[in-house]
Chains A and B, each alone.
Chain A
Amino acid sequence: GQQVMQIPQYQHVQEGEDFTTYCNSSTTLSNIQWYKQRPGGHPVFLIQLVKSGEVKKQKRLTFQFGEAKKNSSLHITATQTTDVGTYFCAGNLLGDMRFGAGTRLTVKP
């Protein structure tokens, strides 16, 4: 079945440093989504990528979808303490959505 691998599992950065999390799927995806979950909260949708090679930006966040539609990355420039939480990718194959294990980001002020 479809599997989505996400690395790293944890990332601790100093405020102002950059952060990247990577997501790889065992199968070609219909699209990929990214979610953020704050401690004690629920996953909240950030963005969806659909096209091969697509790049989208949201302020300090940059999302990429690989040419083969099997991998993706989320990059945060100059992290802030408000960025703490767990970032999940979710690979979507015809409506079957599978989440990666998530990357937990902590930011030291």
Chain B
Amino acid sequence: DARVTQTPRHKVTEMGQEVTMRCQPILGHNTVFWYRQTMMQGLELLAYFRNRAPLDDSGMPKDRFSAEMPDATLATLKIQPSEPRDSAVYFCASGEGQMGTEAFFGQGTRLTVV
């Protein structure tokens, strides 16, 4: 049963610490999205990649966030330094095709920055 895998599922960290979230997209999918979900802002697109190349990361605070795809099986989202306002659920999703098809979401990483 193909699925998007995200690790860790939960992360509690102190303000100022570095946080790295990982995502394994479904094998064969060429598009990977990172979303952040909060009660106030809903689902925000942070970045997305196609064929491992970043296409849009305009939704990401550049000074502290970075997203990469070291290879086709791994996407990472890093926050350094983390702040309490970064507390949210971070979802990774993958899909296939240029025109956009069904996006398969991982179960998310719930991040709490204290």
B residues near A, CB below 8 A?
31, 33, 35, 42-43, 45, 48, 50, 55-56, 58, 91, 93, 97-108
User: Are B102 and A48 neighbours in the complex by a CB distance under 8 Å?
Assistant: yes
Closest to B44 in A: A99
What are 14 A-B contacts with C-beta separation under 8 Å?
Answer: A33-B102, A42-B106, A43-B93, A43-B103, A48-B101, A90-B103, A92-B99, A92-B100, A95-B55, A95-B98, A96-B45, A97-B45, A97-B103, A99-B35
**Chain A proximity of B96: nearest CB distance (Å):** 11
User: Are B104 and A97 neighbours in the complex by a CB distance under 8 Å?
Assistant: no
A residues near B, CB below 8 A?
1, 30-31, 33, 35, 41-45, 48, 88, 90, 92, 94-102
| Set A30, A42, A45, A99: member contacting B102, Cβ < 8 A | A45
With A and B bound together, what is the CA distance between A33 and B48 in angstroms?
Answer: 17
Residues of chain A with a CB closer than 8 A to B107's CB: 41-42
With A and B bound together, what is the CA distance between A102 and B35 in angstroms?
Answer: 14
With A and B bound together, what is the CA distance between A44 and B43 in angstroms?
Answer: 13
User: Are B98 and A99 neighbours in the complex by a CB distance under 8 Å?
Assistant: no
User: Are B105 and A94 neighbours in the complex by a CB distance under 8 Å?
Assistant: no
**Chain A proximity of B80: nearest CB distance (Å):** 25
With A and B bound together, what is the CA distance between A35 and B102 in angstroms?
Answer: 9
Residues of chain B with a CB closer than 8 A to A44's CB: 105
Residues of chain B with a CB closer than 8 A to A102's CB: 42-43
Closest to B31 in A: A95
User: Are A95 and B100 neighbours in the complex by a CB distance under 8 Å?
Assistant: yes
- Given the known inter-chain contacts A42-B91, A99-B35, please indicate yes or no for A30 contacting B43, CB distance below 8 A: no
| Residue with the highest number of chain A CB atoms closer than 10 Å, among B33, B35, B97, B103 | B103
